[in-house]
Amino acid sequence: MFLDDPDQGGIDVGDTTTGVSGAGANQFGLPNGRAAAFGDQFVNSGFRATVQIPASANGAGHLLVAPRSLAGNRLGEVAVPIAVGALTPLPRLVPMP
């Protein structure tokens, strides 16, 4: 998962998963009921993403890009425009004495 186009200097911000393993690992997608309304070919078009957006991205419009590849060959991507608001660091937990 990239913040902005990886071919134009976008940075790696996390991982995506389709949740598919084993013999069907070449399939793209988790079940997606909303997408399925557009046809059976979209039933398994969902994915999950875990990202960490850097504070330097604060206050600007970006693309969140999930490339799709198979055996190292880039086949396509999903790009979603996002607006990054004020980012605050996670609070540090201090152990109680």
* Lowest mean per-residue pLDDT among 78-82, 84-88, 90-94: 90-94
Beta bridge partners of residue 46, listed in sequence order? 30
Predicted model pTM: 0.59
Q: For residue 42, what are the CA distances in angstroms to 22, 24, 70, 83, 90?
A: 21, 16, 19, 27, 36
Q: For tokens 């190292």, name the residue.
A: 72
Domain boundaries defined on the chain: 2-83
Confidence (pLDDT) at 73: 64
SS3 (DSSP) at 19: coil
Pick the most confident of 22-36, 45-59, 75-89: 45-59
CA atoms within 13 A of residue 6's CA, in its CB half-sphere: 14
SS3 52: coil
User: E strands within 19-90?
Assistant: 48-51, 61-70, 73-83
pLDDT at 58: 81
pLDDT reading at 27 higher than 70 = no
Q: Is the confidence at residue 34, as pLDDT, over 70? A: yes
Q: What percent of the chain has pLDDT over 90?
A: 4
